[in-house]
Structure 1
Amino acid sequence: MTTAQAAAPAGPGRYRGFAFAFSAYLLWGFLPFYMKAVAHISPYEVVAHRVLWSVPITAAILLALGGFSGFLTVFRQPRTLAMGFLTASLISVNWAIYVWAIGSGRALESALGYFINPLVNVALGTIFLGERLTRAQVFAVALAVFGVGLMTVESGGLPWVSLALALSFGVYGYLKKTLPIGPTEGFLLEVVLISPLAMIYIGWLAFMGTGHFAGTGAVTTSSDTLLLAASGLVTAVPLILFVYGARLLRYSTIGLMQYMAPSMIFLTAVFVFHEPFSVGKLIAFMFIWAALIVYTATMFTGRKA
């Protein structure tokens, strides 16, 4: 989930970067509470509103930063548009799985997915970019694979939610690097490209009388309308905070902070949502955490993970 400069600015810039990134991860860590609040709504409807409401918020921020005119030139670049649609599709799949997982009592599996995401990034770099793994990184990946194997045995089936979240976000991040525009412009491009599909789906729900927004269905409530309208803020604000934080911090600092959100999700799942957490699952998570410790240590040895 991370891209950052190798060297971070000193002084106030670094502290601003930490504040931005910390705020982003804190908001992501509290995101399960929002997802629980909309658990009675179809994940597809929630994702459609996340897409639609993210457009004006991100556009307003980009306009305030003076980058909107440059963004418009993207629509004369067919290859960029095609890649943007692909990354938009991937992040939409990721969102839908996450919304469904939290609402279905699988927050623990969601946390596991985002814990193993950095190791998926390592694997993708090895497979598609020809990056060579250090021995420590190979050991970290092996520990993670063993931990996932234990979780499979303990759960009686492959933790597909965890793997789907990790793989979809990992491939999204990998492909996102090929977009020849900035992160904020890239996110706006993604939500703009799939917003017509979101509008069609929301319109269809309204026509069928099954929507949850602004009186478009028999089950609509004012709280549902407010929650869905807030989905843009919930989606766009932490992402944009993260983008600006990552630009002002070292790679290793962001690498450590990325475990903050899944840690909060894990604690929320166990102590707030009271999801079943057996000794077997604890052992599986311990292998994952050990893998992350080994992986994180490589950041301080001069080797970029």
Structure 2
Amino acid sequence: MNPEKTSANATLSAVLAFGLWGVLPVYWKQLGHLGSDVALAQRVVWTMATVLPLLMLRGEWSGFLRSLRDVRLVGAHAWSAFLLAINWGVFVWAAQHGRIIDCSLGYFINPLLNVLIGSRLLGERLTGLQKLSIFSAACGVLTQLVLVGHFPWIGLLLAGSFALYGLARRQSPLGSLPGLAMETVVGIPVAVVYLLWAQQSSLPIWGTASAHDLLLIIGLGIITTIPLLGFAHGARQLPFALLGVLQFLAPTGQFLVGALMYHEPVGSGALVSFGLIWLGVLLFCGDLWLRKPSKA
């Protein structure tokens, strides 16, 4: 296989994944009348309905069934499923309640938080630029509290839950698709019970039941799975430095969607805060670029 073609395909897959994550708030806005709790439960159901057939098509079904008999592995994925549910729930709620820019803050911070967790829990050593990037992002968070006047709980909860989710997934032998399937299998009883209760309580679990709403609800599994597979393909093929830079496409897209499309307010204090966080991102990307392996 042509290495240049492989690299181009991997880059395109990663750009597609991060690009879709960047505009995903638009999708959730379309389901705002569904409510974030019902939308989250529907997402679990339709994600499972999407990933299980994919496991069969990719020939991973028998291995997945064997993994379900491993009690410790199922328990580990119950923990990662809990973290993923927090992340999904907060993101959906924030997107539907005019807090998309707060979401972008969380995903700008997330890679820097990953570096901090790696140094504290995995014994990885921080470079000078990495320390500066984390310090700059921390100053940005404090600026939110001092100048903007509110604690950035949405951004920190998104960044923290996704960083811990990444740490939990790191300790699992399952790939991205079997791992997501395991997490949806673990979460499906809660999601189904909640949807049944919601229906009994006369909540609109199918929205308006129009073709538009039904297609959006069924599509929840697709918009969850496609970016994940694109990211997994890119992560296997691309240099870490390039992947590290590309991942900032998602929060950049979210920030632009919130500010330009939905006209969420961005005051001077918020700009100072984001400026410090963006400085941390630039330092982080600079460190990745300086440490990239040179070609022979």
Taking structure 1 as the reference length, the TM-score comes to 0.92
The answer as to 2:89 corresponding to 1:80 is no
Distance in 1 (alpha carbons) for counterparts of 2:247 and 2:101:
17
User: CA-to-partner distance for each residue in 1:173-219, whole Å, 9 max, x for gaps?
Assistant: 011101111111111110111111111111111122213318xxxx6
| Alpha-carbon shift at residue 221 of structure 1 (Å) | 4.3
The answer as to 2:141 corresponding to 1:151 is no
| Alpha-carbon shift at residue 32 of structure 1 (Å) | 0.8
What SS does the corresponding residue of 2:150 show, helix, strand or coil? coil
The match for 2:220 is 231
Question: Residues 101, 200 of structure 1: CA spacing in aligned structure 2 closer, same or farther, 3 A cutoff?
Answer: same
Q: Unpaired segments of 5 or more residues in structure 2? A: none
The match for 2:255 is 266
Distance in 2 (alpha carbons) for counterparts of 1:211 and 1:222:
14
Task: Give the partner amino acid of 1:230.
Answer: G
CA contact (8 A) 2:34 2:206 kept: no
Task: Give the partner amino acid of 1:95.
Answer: W
The answer as to 2:285 corresponding to 1:292 is no
- 1:48-127 aligned at under 5 Å gives the runs 48-127=41-120
The match for 1:5 is none
- 1:173-252 aligned at under 5 Å gives the runs 173-213=166-206, 220-252=209-241
User: CA-to-partner distance for each residue in 1:142-182, whole Å, 9 max, x for gaps?
Assistant: 10010111111233121000000000000000111011111
Task: Give the partner amino acid of 1:78.
Answer: V
The match for 1:276 is 265
| Alpha-carbon shift at residue 271 of structure 1 (Å) | 0.8
User: CA-to-partner distance for each residue in 1:215-236, whole Å, 9 max, x for gaps?
Assistant: xxxx654433332221111111
The answer as to 2:244 corresponding to 1:255 is yes
CA contact (8 A) 1:212 1:221 kept: no
CA contact (8 A) 2:195 2:205 kept: no
CA contact (8 A) 1:97 1:161 kept: yes
CA contact (8 A) 1:84 1:186 kept: yes
Q: Unpaired segments of 5 or more residues in structure 1? A: 1-8
Q: Which of 163, 166, 177 is matched with 1:170 structurally?
A: 163
Coordinate RMSD, CA, aligned:
1.6
Task: Give the partner amino acid of 2:68.
Answer: F
| Alpha-carbon shift at residue 280 of structure 1 (Å) | 1.6
| Alpha-carbon shift at residue 74 of structure 1 (Å) | 0.5
Percentage of matched positions with identical amino acids: 34
Distance in 2 (alpha carbons) for counterparts of 1:26 and 1:138:
28
Task: Give the partner amino acid of 2:254.
Answer: I
CA contact (8 A) 2:94 2:154 kept: yes
What SS does the corresponding residue of 2:34 show, helix, strand or coil? coil
Distance in 1 (alpha carbons) for counterparts of 2:171 and 2:239:
22
What SS does the corresponding residue of 1:277 show, helix, strand or coil? coil
The match for 2:125 is 132
The answer as to 2:33 corresponding to 1:33 is no
| Alpha-carbon shift at residue 259 of structure 1 (Å) | 0.4
| Alpha-carbon shift at residue 255 of structure 1 (Å) | 0.5
Distance in 2 (alpha carbons) for counterparts of 1:221 and 1:300:
49
Distance in 1 (alpha carbons) for counterparts of 2:239 and 2:128:
23
Distance in 2 (alpha carbons) for counterparts of 1:246 and 1:27:
16
Distance in 2 (alpha carbons) for counterparts of 1:83 and 1:109:
29
What SS does the corresponding residue of 2:204 show, helix, strand or coil? coil
Task: Give the partner amino acid of 1:46.
Answer: A
| Alpha-carbon shift at residue 29 of structure 1 (Å) | 1.3
